[in-house]
Structure 1
Amino acid sequence: MDRSLIQAVFMLVLGNNVAILSDSLIKLLDGYETPFQFAFMRQISALLVLVPLLMLMKKSLRPRQIKWHFVRAHVWFLSSLFMVLSLTTLPLATANAIFYAAPLITVFLAVLFFGERASWFAILTSILGLVGVIVIVNPSEVNGFVLAALGVALALAVNNLLIKKLPAEHGVMETLYLTTILGVPAGIIGTLIEGGAWNWNMAALAFGSSIFVLIYAATCVFAYRAAQSNVVSSAEYTGLVGAVVVGMIFFAEQPELRFYIGAALIVVPLIILTSMQRQPADSAA
């Protein structure tokens, strides 16, 4: 196997399991009473990291061509709110399994709004994945927090598709910066309307969560530049295994059998689909 491919897979496995640490910090919150404040704290934390890095790289901090960055910023902000609601109430593994509906939703949205063509197996994979989500959450137990987790998946899917609309000249660091800074006014307004007492303990969790998310983003940049996405993307689903392990060790969670059945319906077809997409690239090499 090519060395760069091994490095790319390793970085994706590392990145996705680091992202689980971010989710774990959110789960440590006392509750979901002030999701706007937490999302705002994450914005400020990310800027404290990104602004010095961009200045060191001598990148402009002035927003340019902001229309689609503005849209993505607010979709991302909504996903942060939904994430707080879902992770503070649902088991870690269950919430993450629902989050993994994002690539399945992406397929449907790409066909409906971007005119992309999807193979019959890609469509079948999406259907099986959504069935897997239903198996995990059990329709009789669906509540607002489950819907919040589905909101996270939808927001992630929309954000992925909107990448196609971003200016090509903006690098990853600039994109992260613009996605953060343009959502700050919404964070301020939401926090003021929410009216919760400022919680410095929550600020520490928000800072740690932001650091882990930025590390995840960096590993994705490395991996997808080192190898073709359709060859390595299945490595991202190892994060679901990490969520189960972390949930068992630190939160005393014991997933039921239906979780494993539902997770298999989500992950296995995606891995097969990735393998099918990989074959033409391998044969071309």
Structure 2
Amino acid sequence: MDRSVIQAVIMLVFGNNVAILSDSLIKLVGSHDAPFQFAFLRLISALVVLMPLMVLLKKPLKPTHTRWHWVRAHVWLVSSLCMVISLTTLPLATANAVFYAAPLITVVLAVLLFSERASLASFIASGLGLVGVLVIVNPTEMNGFALAALVVALSLAINNLLIKKLPAQHGVVETLYYTTLLALPLAALGAWIEGATWSWSMALLAFGSSVFVLIYAATCVFAYRAAQSSVVSSAEYTGLIGAVLVGMVFFAEQPELRFYLGAMLIVVPLVTLTFLQREGRGQ
């Protein structure tokens, strides 16, 4: 397997398991009554981290070539709002199982919109992954909160693909900074209209969540620039293992048998695909 592909897969595996920590902090919020306030606080927290890095790297704080950064920023905001709604109402593992429809959507959109070439094995792995998600969620129990999780999945897929539209000269830190800065005005307006009471505990949770999600976002930028989306996107499914472990240990969640069956449908095809690609490159 190409070294860049291996690095991309490793980064996605790491990033998705770090993202579980962010999801756990969101779940601790305990209510979805003020999603805009939480999103706004996460953005402010991210800027606190990113602005010193921009200064240290001697990058301009004023955004340039912002068209696709602006689009990604607002797609991110939608996903952040829906993430608060879904994670505070669904079990951690269930919500993440729905989030992991994102790699399948990524492959399909990459082929349809960006003319990327996907192997039959990639389609099969992604398809089995989606079946695994459906087994875990049980479509007969779908509700508005699960639909919010699906919106998160769609948003993640769109933003992963839009990375290729960003200016090549913008590095990871710049990309994260511009996305954060450009989403701030609408998030602030939404929080003001929302009118929720200020919460210091939410601010602390938002800061921690923001740090973890920045790490996740950075790994996505690196991975999807290093390799084709259709080749590496299935690696995102591995975070599901972290979700069930964290849910069991910290939230006393006990997944049913169907969760483990679904997880096998997600992880086994990924491992198989990795070996097939390694053998194919070696020939």
Same fold per superposition (TM over 0.5): yes
Superposed displacement of residue 95, structure 1: 1.2
CA contact (8 A) 2:101 2:133 kept: yes
The one-letter code sitting in structure 1 at the alignment partner of 2:28 is L
CA contact (8 A) 2:106 2:158 kept: yes
Q: Could you tell me the percent identity over the aligned residues?
A: 72
The equivalent of 2:178 in structure 1 is: 178
Please tell me whether residue 133 in structure 1 is matched to residue 133 in structure 2: yes
Superposed displacement of residue 121, structure 1: 2.6
Superposed displacement of residue 70, structure 1: 0.5
Superposed displacement of residue 7, structure 1: 8.4
The one-letter code sitting in structure 2 at the alignment partner of 1:151 is V
Relative to structure 1, the CA distance from residue 216 to residue 114 in structure 2 (aligned partners, 3 Å threshold; closer, same or farther) is: closer
Task: Tell me how far apart the structure 1 counterparts of residues 16 and 47 of structure 2 sit (CA, whole Å).
Answer: 22
Task: Tell me how far apart the structure 1 counterparts of residues 244 and 50 of structure 2 sit (CA, whole Å).
Answer: 31
CA contact (8 A) 1:99 1:153 kept: yes
Root mean square deviation, CA, Å: 2.8
CA contact (8 A) 1:18 1:216 kept: yes
Structure 1 stretch 267-276 or stretch 21-30: which is displaced more? Answer: 267-276
Task: Tell me how far apart the structure 1 counterparts of residues 14 and 87 of structure 2 sit (CA, whole Å).
Answer: 21
Task: Tell me how far apart the structure 2 counterparts of residues 98 and 45 of structure 1 sit (CA, whole Å).
Answer: 27
What aligned pairs does 1:249-268 form with structure 2 within 5 A after superposition? 249-268=249-268
Superposed displacement of residue 163, structure 1: 0.9
Relative to structure 1, the CA distance from residue 230 to residue 157 in structure 2 (aligned partners, 3 Å threshold; closer, same or farther) is: closer
Relative to structure 1, the CA distance from residue 5 to residue 152 in structure 2 (aligned partners, 3 Å threshold; closer, same or farther) is: closer
Superposed displacement of residue 113, structure 1: 1.8
For residue 29 of structure 2, give the secondary structure of its aligned residue in structure 1: coil
Relative to structure 1, the CA distance from residue 237 to residue 28 in structure 2 (aligned partners, 3 Å threshold; closer, same or farther) is: same
The one-letter code sitting in structure 2 at the alignment partner of 1:188 is A
The one-letter code sitting in structure 2 at the alignment partner of 1:24 is S
CA contact (8 A) 1:100 1:153 kept: yes
Residues 241-271 of structure 1, C-alpha deviations (whole Å, 9 max, x = no match): 1111110011000001111122222232233
Superposed displacement of residue 83, structure 1: 0.7
Relative to structure 1, the CA distance from residue 205 to residue 224 in structure 2 (aligned partners, 3 Å threshold; closer, same or farther) is: same
The equivalent of 2:63 in structure 1 is: 63
Superposed displacement of residue 15, structure 1: 3.5
Superposed displacement of residue 219, structure 1: 5.2
For residue 158 of structure 1, give the secondary structure of its aligned residue in structure 2: helix
What aligned pairs does 1:1-285 form with structure 2 within 5 A after superposition? 13-218=13-218, 236-283=236-283
Residues 73-122 of structure 1, C-alpha deviations (whole Å, 9 max, x = no match): 00011111111111111111111121111111111112222233332232
Task: Tell me how far apart the structure 1 counterparts of residues 230 and 278 of structure 2 sit (CA, whole Å).
Answer: 6
Task: Tell me how far apart the structure 1 counterparts of residues 7 and 150 of structure 2 sit (CA, whole Å).
Answer: 32
Q: How many residues align?
A: 283
TM-score, reference length from structure 1: 0.88
The one-letter code sitting in structure 2 at the alignment partner of 1:255 is P
Superposed displacement of residue 2, structure 1: 12
CA contact (8 A) 1:234 1:274 kept: no
For residue 167 of structure 2, give the secondary structure of its aligned residue in structure 1: coil
The one-letter code sitting in structure 2 at the alignment partner of 1:29 is V
Relative to structure 1, the CA distance from residue 50 to residue 98 in structure 2 (aligned partners, 3 Å threshold; closer, same or farther) is: same
For residue 246 of structure 1, give the secondary structure of its aligned residue in structure 2: helix
The one-letter code sitting in structure 1 at the alignment partner of 2:275 is S
